[in-house]
Structure 1
């Protein structure tokens, strides 16, 4: 199956900054001229994005909404955009936790991280799949595109919650892709390395990390090439190196 080169309508959840924003704008530039729906929490950024093109549509949305609100969101989107054939899950948060000092662990923050990075995506996939499978039954390709992390392969000890959520999402992608292998719904997992973004701003680590991260433009270009080809896993930079060492061949060994 080809990649998203012929997609008609793409939803990007978490599109107001960083990787999500960059990918949304890059998808908007595809020759197929898809409608791109940008979903995010920050209305002012959505308003700015809506001015960049007639095919850019925006909707305010929080992945930490209730289960019923998430279901209602999916019903509204698929009703308004029946040609929706690709969903990109880019929402994500990262926090530092020091379990040497367990009294400092804020469980509410940790649980929000778990919900944002993993639970909400599983919930949304459950609600979106009936629509995507309907397209599949019509012979149309459809795409479920979660953004996990290279830290799903090799974790960073200072952000244990983040790494665990991304490892869970990575495993879920492998299983889901195998379950859907006889349909026209493709799972394409993106595993970023350390990439230029706002993800670390609240940690006060951006100046240091900026010396090492992959520029966002470089990352976006490499990911778009993988999306156009329809690669099952897209792992640029150091994520690709770790994928070669620890993950290569795993897809073929799923039981």
Structure 2
């Protein structure tokens, strides 16, 4: 597989964390980048900092509006050939202690982490298949999580949604084997972003304090590894624990994947 970063790149979830970091790194390579996210104020700031950056307000949890928004993006950027889905949300609650989430919050977390990416892929793949040729591959890249493989208590919806996203990637990659549409999954370790900011102190306390709790990797260090994997065209890009998760899963299930002709 050639580089997963092609000529025109749409990054969804570009206003913070990993998505913002990828936006800056890929823009610095001279690619045409379309930054998409919910927070218009942050999109405007990125526009000011990064000359030539295109921006789009997009809420991946607004499932019913995704076809319209994506249709507009494709009309404005018919040469789009790479989409990176980095939008994500993580809730933290204890059912045992009575600190419950709500039906609407549970639905929103699944929509952002799984349903939205699934709908986007359903809308994008036919477009990419129509325009494919040997010299112009297309890529859809999803940001997964090591917690897809080792789920933790107190964040069950996040873990379940990321497990579903991993399964989605494997299924789509197998179906698209032999085409020029590439499905990439990036599996980060624990990275220092805004994702867990609202409950980080409580989580550290529950894990035994700062000395016992895992230390997050910096976004910059993570991006160094992730970009390397993207540029050489790997379809599964694990960093730290994320790579161990991929390797362990592949080793355990490769006989079954081969039996059912799951190539990818």
Task: Output the TM-score relative to the length of structure 2.
Answer: 0.89
2:124 maps to what in 1? 128
The 2-side partners of 1:42 and 1:57 are apart by 14
| Deviation of 1:211 (Å) | 6.5
* Cα deviation, residue 207, structure 1: 9.3
Q: 1:133 to 1:250 in 2, by over 3 A?
A: farther
Q: Name the counterpart of 2:36.
A: 39
Partner of 1:3: 3
Q: Any stretches of 5+ residues in structure 1 without a counterpart?
A: none
| Mapping of residues 26-175 of structure 1, within 5 Å | 26-30=25-29, 33-67=30-64, 69-101=65-97, 104-137=100-133, 139-175=135-171
Q: Deviations over 1:159-206 (max 9, x none)?
A: 111000000000110010000011100011001110010001122439
1:182 aligns with 178
Task: Quote the residue 2:241 is aligned against.
Answer: 238
Residue from 215, 239, 250 that aligns with 1:212 = 215
- The Cα of 1:250 is off from its aligned counterpart by 4.3
Q: Does the CA-based 8 Å contact 1:13-1:89 persist in structure 2? A: yes
What's the secondary structure of 1:157's corresponding residue?
coil
Residue pair 2:63, 2:116 contacting (<8 A) in 1 also: no
Q: Is the 8 A contact 1:214 1:237 kept in 2?
A: no
Answer whether contact 1:97 1:161 (CA < 8 A) is retained: no
Aligned residue pairs: how many?
251
- Normalising by structure 1, we get a TM-score of 0.92
Equivalent-residue separation in structure 1 for 2:203 and 2:28 (angstroms)? 31
CA contact (8 A) 1:219 1:236 kept: yes
Query: Where do 5+ consecutive residues of structure 2 fail to align?
Result: 205-209
Change (3 A) 1:207 1:154: closer
